[in-house]
Amino acid sequence: MCGIVGYMGSQEASQVIMNGLKMLEYRGYDSAGICTMDLGDVEIRRSSGKLVNLERLLNEQPLHGTIGIGHTRWATHGKPSVANAHPHKGGAVVVVHNGIIENYLALKEELTSRGHTFLSETDSEVVSHLIDENLKTATSLEEAVRRALKDLQGAYALCILSQMDDKTLIAAKSGSPMVVGIKGDEYFVASDMPAIISNTREMVIMEDGEMAVFRNGGVKFSTLGGEEIIKTPRYIDWSPLMAEKNGYPNFMLKEIHEQPRSIKNVIAGRLHVDEGDVFFEGLELDDSALRAFERLCLVACGTSWHAALAGKYMIEEYCRIPVDVEIASEFRYRDPMVSKKTLVIPISQSGETADTLAALREAKSRGAHIVSICNVVDSSIARESDGVIYTHAGLEIGVASTKAFTTQLVALYMLAIRLGRANGIIDLGKGQEMIAALGRLPALVEKTLELDPQIEEVACEYLTCWDAIYLGRGISYPIALEGALKLKEISYIHADGYPAGEMKHGPIALIDREMPVFILAPNDKHLVKVRSNMEEVITRGGRVVAFCSEGDLETGKRAEFALQIPWGGEALSTVLFAVALQLLAYNFAILKGKDVDQPRNLAKSVTVE
């Protein structure tokens, strides 16, 4: 999400760091900052907006010193502003951070009671104060860092400096990426290889739970517990472009593979296991306020609308609250029936989609309470909402939405838990069971990604088709729609999604030997009916690919291909089926030689009506 660069050597650190940050700017950040250390003094420059603003500031007020850390921020907690830009300084300690500190509110409270003053709204600032607090009793910066890290929950990649020790730079990692570049006695640290690959190709990839201490022209790697580890640099022969994509051939595949992490992020810090409940920092509605809504209205476009449709199934099933799902571009032109008793939920990755924003304003003007589900922090939709649930998927560059979609599904599932706990339909046991299923999800996504070779085989088999049909029942129907949209937009093959039971009311006339029928057949309450729908297609000579649940060897027996998707429970299996369908569309498009990151005629954020 954010970019980190650190340097220790003989050059002006600010220059090396600025060059590194520039290599990460293609990711589009909202603020940036650098700190260097010179003769025991730490100095910081920060600015909001693009890097050019920071560069201008550095020209006016240069930074000197051969040790430094820098950061470009993509906001997660706290709006984009100078105060929220990194580096953050707490007492004598300066940090840049990538990731999410889940327990930052509790730590902040504790540190405030010990006299620390916080200047930002970020979760990251807490790390600098926590290390500073430990520095009071520790014998070294290294020890203070080790102690502080024990108290952190969540994910982090950190670079740390202290004015009490002007010869040391520390990097630590747990859950967010970090690499160390080595060139003689010069050391480069970065969240992403492109930031430092022009300086050196000798890199050490840090693993979770590791720390690197740079001092006196050397580096020592150790576990967070203090046990020394020997790490050998490896030569990275990627081109700078490959490095931007972390070795993936394009952003879409990179983002598909980022989903285990983005799902961990959307969950992070929000699950109250003991209470079987979910806490959303931006919801700002207590149980009685939630109970007062008579209905919900989810409004969105495209892929986000598909997430909304799946959300309807989840919320109505688990919370017994009526949910309407609206296409944003239709909503505002038909005198929509919303009132103070309606909770309106716009869903948007970018937070800038013009139709969704217009729908939000329309609903607001009719007195509805607005809680949006957004990925981009402080976007227009987020700013104009009464509350926001951020999906924390990280920056999505590929035009076809992937990780934003699956994190929307997870956010809606968590919202269903919150609403169901508030109105008592979900009891403690059920809430705990639903939360446990969430905890298992990232690993199941990893497992689904391993199906790629089999999915590629399917794409090869049907590569010459002009049309495809996706079928699903119940909550799999919106996933069928999403699968069809993914295929259309990146491979330009015409595709439609239908509720499987609708086939006999018309689309079945299309069945022939040319058109594959992709059938979603998870092991849920619809399975028997879906099997019958599959038979209807097969007996008319249709070519079926069955996406079944792991362990179900029966359903796909008569299909041309049967894929076994891990089972994540009825609602969360949507995420796993969606991942498989993303890979299917991706393989079709790549085999056809299409540009998956920038499909023709499409834009990432549709800011016109």
Nearest approach in angstroms of CB 355 to ligand F6R is 8
Q: Minimum CB separation from ligand F6R for residue 211, in Å? A: 38
Decide: is 388 part of the binding site for ligand F6R (CB under 6 A): no
User: If residue 157 lies in a helix (H) or strand (E), which one and from where to where?
Assistant: strand 154-162
165 Cβ contact list (under 8 Å, min separation 6): 140, 141
Tell me the CB-side half-sphere exposure of residue 376, using CA atoms within 13 A. Answer: 19
Q: Catalytic amino acids?
A: 2, 604
Nearer to ligand F6R, 213 or 484 (CB): 484
Residue 483 in 3-state DSSP?
A: helix
Selected from 353, 380, 385, 555, the binder of ligand F6R by CB under 6 A is: 353
Q: Is 605 in the site for ligand F6R (CB under 6 A)?
A: yes
Looking at the Cβ atoms of 35 and 301, the one nearer to ligand F6R is 301
Binding mask 547-586 for ligand F6R (x = CB under 6 A): ----------------------------------------
For residue 156, the minimal CB distance to ligand F6R (Å) is: 28
Q: Are 65 and 50 in contact (CB under 8 A)?
A: no
- Give yes or no for a cis peptide into 87 (omega within 30° of 0): yes
CB 24, min distance to ligand F6R, A:
22
- Is there binding between residue 407 and ligand F6R (CB under 6 A)? no
User: CA neighbours within 13 Å on the CB side: how many for 286?
Assistant: 1
Q: Is 174 in the site for ligand F6R (CB under 6 A)?
A: no
Q: How many residues bind ligand F6R (CB under 6 A)?
A: 15
Nearer to ligand F6R, 54 or 400 (CB): 400
Q: Measured from the CB of residue 399, what is the shortest distance to ligand F6R in angstroms? A: 7
- Annotate 83-141 with three-state secondary structure: CCCCCEEECCEEEEEEEEECCHHHHHHHHHHCCCCCCCCCCCHHHHHHHHHHHCCCCCH
Taking the complex as a whole, how short is the minimal distance between the CB of residue 329 and ligand F6R, in angstroms?
10
Q: Which is nearest to 580 in space by CA: 469, 471, 452, 482? A: 452
For residues 303 and 401, give the distance between their C-alpha atoms in angstroms, rounded to a whole number: 7
Q: Of these, 302, 474, 499, 542, which contacts ligand F6R (CB under 6 A)? A: 302
Among 222, 401, 432, 587, binds ligand F6R (CB under 6 A): 401
Ranked by CB distance to ligand F6R, the top (closest) residue is 302
By the rule CB under 6 A, 98 interacts with ligand F6R: no
Instruction: Tell me: does residue 138 bind ligand F6R (CB under 6 A).
Output: no
Please, which residue, 408 or 555, has the CB nearer to ligand F6R? 408
The answer to whether residue 400 forms part of the interface with ligand F6R (CB under 6 A) is: yes
Cα(496)–Cα(505) distance, integer angstroms: 15
When asked if residue 598 is in the footprint of ligand F6R (CB under 6 A), the reply is: no
Q: Give, rounded to a whole angstrom, the gap between the first and last alpha carbons of the chain.
A: 29
Q: What does the alpha-carbon distance between residue 549 and residue 567 come to, in Å, rounded to a whole number?
A: 6
Beta strands per DSSP E along 179-270: 179-183, 186-190, 202-205, 210-215, 218-223, 228-229, 234-235
Q: Looking at the chain, how many residues does it have?
A: 609
Binding mask 307-346 for ligand F6R (x = CB under 6 A): ----------------------------------------
Site residues for ligand F6R, 481-510, by CB under 6 A, read 485, 489
Binds ligand F6R by CB under 6 A, chosen from 124, 191, 304, 432: 304
**Cβ–Cβ under 8 Å, residues 589 and 596:** yes
Task: Out of 301, 345, 412, 578, point to the residue binding ligand F6R (CB under 6 A).
Answer: 301
The CA dihedral of 599, 602, 605, 607, to the nearest 10 degrees, is 170
Distance of CA 609 to the CA centre of its chain: 27
Q: Which member of 349, 406, 549, 582 binds ligand F6R (CB under 6 A)?
A: 349
Quick one: tokens of 422? 């508030």
Least Å from the CB of residue 402 to ligand F6R: 8
> Quick check: 606 binds ligand F6R (CB under 6 A)?
yes
Nearer to ligand F6R by Cβ, of 376 and 562: the residue is: 376
Closest Cα to residue 400, out of 607, 595, 608, 609? 595
Distance CA(284)–CA(282), nearest Å, equals 6
Footprint of ligand F6R (CB under 6 A): 301-304, 348-350, 353, 356, 400-401, 485, 489, 605-606
